[in-house]
Amino acid sequence: MSQRLDMLDQMIAKGSDDPFVHYARAMELRSLERLEDARAAFAEVAERFPTYVPTYLMAAQVCEQLAQEDDARSWAERGIEKAKAAGDAHAAGELQAFLDEL
């Protein structure tokens, strides 16, 4: 386990409500190539912080890495909806580009 993951786990255990802390934990799992754990962590972020737009592209990419194309497509489509609702055209464009290449 990495020190960064330990630190993020401790912050979450202490009740952090910062979506970035939860997202960073999922990203750390991804960087450690713990892809199934990362996928589950991104799902937790999306459930707890559904408007945290960066989650959706990263989750879609992890699903693609796991050869779960239907899940990747679903994540990207949900992310486009969330990005548009948030007025985040840049994120919506990135998600659409991912979807187009899938």
Give the pLDDT confidence of 50-81 residue by residue, as tens digits: 999 999 999 999 999 999 999 999 999 999 99
Q: Are 45 and 61 in contact (CB under 8 A)?
A: no
| Backbone torsions φ then ψ of 51, nearest 5 degrees | -95, 5
| Backbone torsions φ then ψ of 87, nearest 5 degrees | 75, 25
In this prediction the pTM is: 0.93
Q: Where are the domains of the chain?
A: 3-101
- What's the pLDDT at 1? 62
Residue among 34, 36, 31, 10 nearest 22 (CA): 10
Instruction: Indicate the CATH number of 3-101 among 3.40.605.10, 3.40.50.720, 1.20.210.10, 1.25.40.10.
Output: 1.25.40.10
